[in-house]
Amino acid sequence: MRLANKISIITGAGAGIGEGTATRFAEEGSKLVLTDISEADVNAVSKRLCAMGAQAVAVTGDISIEDDARRISETAIEHFGGIDILVNNAANFTTVSVEHATPEDWRRVLEVNVIGTGLVSKHAIPHIRKRGKGSIVNVSSTSALMAQPDFATYNTSKGAILSMTICMALDLAPSNIRVNSICPGCILTSATEREWLRMGITREQWIAEMAPQHMLNRVGDVREVANAILFLASDEASFITGTHLMVDGGRIAK
Ligand SMILES: NC(=O)c1ccc[n+]([C@@H]2O[C@H](COP(=O)([O-])OP(=O)(O)OC[C@H]3O[C@@H](n4cnc5c(N)ncnc54)[C@H](O)[C@@H]3O)[C@@H](O)[C@H]2O)c1
């Protein structure tokens, strides 16, 4: 039980990598505050994990709204009495080139991915500090480090997560709070399903296009990302802060 007695917040826990991380954390004994903008999805995940024997509570909210961001930490305190781990995973997937992006495109993706990550962290940090140590894992992407056609808005937001991570790591080191990012490659989730539907291709066609971009010649599974988040969140990563871990099957190095 690598997270026994730990209390973790996971944003975007209603689907994909967030749901996979919630499941992995539950297996390792963490108490969970699960949050998502989709009430039905986050309630379903929470119910499923509680049926597995986990202690989980669901909070519905939009991380880009400060009152919602504050409510996530308040719920953790109310239910479990503290916060040890925060996984900033929720994201907006507005992908548009600079030439075609409207102010609303920019606002939404930056509000959720950058400001939302900042706001959830802001309200969790004082509580994590009180525990004497803690870990924050921000979910960035290989998209932060590469150019992709018509992805400028999203990739910019993911680049900002890497910058935010190193600044948070510096500011929070005196409080013994480690802050790191992970950069997944292509992972099969509801977000990638929306992507192949948007492209008008099948799941198999999308995989055939994406897999060869990775050295391992396949796309990833949410559990493979969840394992990396678990490592960074756990005490096994006690001397790791201010960095990013590629979980990308060799995509960036190829
Ligand atoms: N799937 C991939 O290939 C991939 C690759 C690299 C990075 N990522 C990153 O991994 C993370 C999870 O992605 P995913 O593929 O699991 O996506 P997903 O769409 O399957 O899940 C994201 C969850 O976030 C929630 N969410 C969206 N906006 C929100 C908001 N404003 N407030 C609260 N919750 C909100 C959604 O409702 C959804 O449940 C994201 O940060 C994404 O950028 C994904």
Q: What are phi and psi of 112, to 5 degrees?
A: -75, -55
Beta carbon of 249 within 6 Å of any ligand 1 atom: no
The model's confidence at residue 116, banded by pLDDT at 50, 70 and 90, is very high
- Of the candidates 25, 151, 154, 206, the residue annotated as catalytic is 154
Look-up of token digits 């080139």: 97
Query: 86: phi > 0 → left, psi -120 to 50 → alpha, else beta; which?
Result: beta
Give 112: exposed, middle or buried? Use CB within 10 Å, 0-12, 13-18, 19+: buried
When pLDDT is cut at 50, 70 and 90, the band that residue 92 belongs to is very high
Side-chain half-sphere exposure of 97, counting CA atoms within 13 A: 5
Query: DSSP for 153-196?
Result: HHHHHHHHHHHHHHHHHHHHGGGTEEEEEEEE-SB-SHHHHHHH
Q: Whose CA is nearest to atom 42 of ligand 1?
A: 91
Q: What is the pLDDT of residues 200-216, one digit of tens each?
A: 999 999 999 999 999 99
d(CA 33, CA 75) in angstroms, rounded, equals 7
Residue nearest to atom 40 of ligand 1 (CA): 91
36-67 residue pLDDT tens: 999 999 999 999 999 999 999 999 999 999 99
CA dihedral 139, 44, 111, 32 (to 10 degrees): -50
Domains along the chain with CATH numbers? 7-186+222-247 (3.40.50.720)
Q: What pLDDT is recorded for position 18?
A: 98
Burial of residue 253 (CB within 10 Å: 0-12, 13-18, 19+) is exposed
Mean pLDDT value of segment 213-225: 98
What is the position in ligand 1's atom list of the atom closest to the CA of 13? 39
Alpha carbon distance 214, 184 (integer Å): 11
Q: Is 126 exposed, middle or buried (0-12, 13-18, 19+ CB in 10 A)?
A: exposed
Which pLDDT belongs to residue 128? Answer: 98
The residues that bridge with 43 in the sheet, in sequence order, are none
Separation between Cα atoms, residue 194 and residue 64, nearest integer Å: 22
**pLDDT tens column, 153-193:** 999 999 999 999 999 999 999 999 999 999 999 999 999 99
241 classed as catalytic: no
